[in-house]
Chain A
Amino acid sequence: MSTYYDEVQEIKARYPNWRSATLPALRLAQEHHGYLSPDALRECAEALGATPAFCEAVASFYDMLHLAPVGRHMVEVCTNVSCALVGAQQVLERFEEELGIRAGETSGDGEVTLRPIECLGGCGWATVVSVDHHYRTHVKPEDVPAIVQELRSGG
Chain B
Amino acid sequence: MAADGRMIVMADADSRDLTKLAEYEAVGGYQALQKTRAMSPGAVIDEVIASELRGRGGAFFPTGRKWSFVPKPNQNPNPHYLVVNADESEPGSFKDNEIMSRVPHRFIEGCLIAAHAVESKSVFVYIRGEYTGPYEILRSALEELQTRSEIRGDVTIVLHRGAGAYICGEETALLESLEGKRGQPRTKPPFPAVQGLDASPTVVNNVETMATLPPIMQMGGTEYAKLGVPDSRGTRVVSLSGHVERPGNYEIENGTSMHELIYGLAGGIPGGRELKAVIPGGSSTVILKADEIDVGYDFNSLLTLNTAMGSAGVVALDDRCCMVQLGIRISEFYEHESCGKCTPCREGTRWMTQILRRLESGEALQSELDLLLDVCDRINGKCLCPLGETAAIAVASYVDKFRAEFIAHVDRAGCPFGDSSPLHDVLAPVAVHTHSASAAVPA
Contact = CB atoms under 8 A, between A and B. Distances in A.
A35 to B, nearest CB: 9
A86 B271 CA distance: 12
Contacts of B197: 16
Contact of B422 (A87, A124, A130): A87
B93 A117 contact: no
Contacts of B131: 121
A82 B160 contact: no
Interface string A98-131: 0000011000000001011111111111100010
Interface string B146-182: 0000000000101011111110000000000111111
Contacts of A133: 130, 132
A65 B177 CA distance: 14
Contacts, number: 190
A6 B165 CA distance: 28
B423 A115 contact: no
B25 to A, nearest CB: 27
Contact of A85 (B94, B156, B181, B317): B317
Nearest to B318: A85
Interface residues of A, number: 54
A121 B92 CA distance: 7
Interface in B393-423: 422-423
A23 interface: yes
Contacts of A60: 435-436
A133 B94 CA distance: 17
Interface string A50-79: 000000011011111111101000000001
B337 interface: yes
Contacts of B242: 81-82, 85-86, 123
Given A60-B436, A89-B426, A135 B93 contact: no
A135 B97 CA distance: 12
A72 to B, nearest CB: 15
A79 B321 CA distance: 15
A115 B247 contact: no
A19 interface: yes
Contact of B198 (A16, A57, A66): A16
B79 interface: yes
Given A64-B163, A68-B435, A70-B434, A121 B427 contact: no
Q: Chain B interface mostly helix, strand, loop or mixed?
A: loop
Given A87-B422, A103-B432, A134-B133, A80 B94 contact: no
Contacts of A104: 432-434, 438
A149 interface: no
A16 B436 contact: no
Contacts of A135: 132-133
A27 B164 CA distance: 11
A118 B240 contact: no
B62 interface: no
B248 interface: yes
A87 B402 CA distance: 24
B161 A84 contact: no
A23 B94 contact: no
Contacts of B435: 60, 63, 65-68
Contact of A62 (B164, B178, B241, B279): B164
Interface in B315-355: 315, 317, 321, 326, 329-330, 333, 336-337, 339
Name the residue in A14, A57, A70, A113 with the highest tally of chain B Cβ atoms < 10 Å from its Cβ. A14
Nearest to A122: B94
B88 interface: yes
B436 A121 contact: no
A62 B122 CA distance: 26
28 contacts: A14-B158, A16-B79, A16-B81, A19-B179, A23-B177, A61-B183, A62-B129, A63-B163, A64-B129, A64-B164, A66-B434, A79-B428, A79-B429, A81-B279, A82-B92, A82-B242, A84-B422, A85-B315, A85-B422, A89-B424, A113-B434, A115-B432, A118-B166, A119-B91, A119-B283, A121-B88, A124-B248, A133-B130
Given A67-B436, A104-B433, A118-B166, 4 more contacts: A16-B81, A80-B91, A81-B283, A104-B432
Interface of B: 79, 81, 88-94, 96-97, 122, 128-133, 156, 158, 160-166, 177-183, 197-198, 200, 239-243, 247-249, 279, 283, 313, 315, 317, 321, 326, 329-330, 333, 336-337, 339, 422-429, 432-438
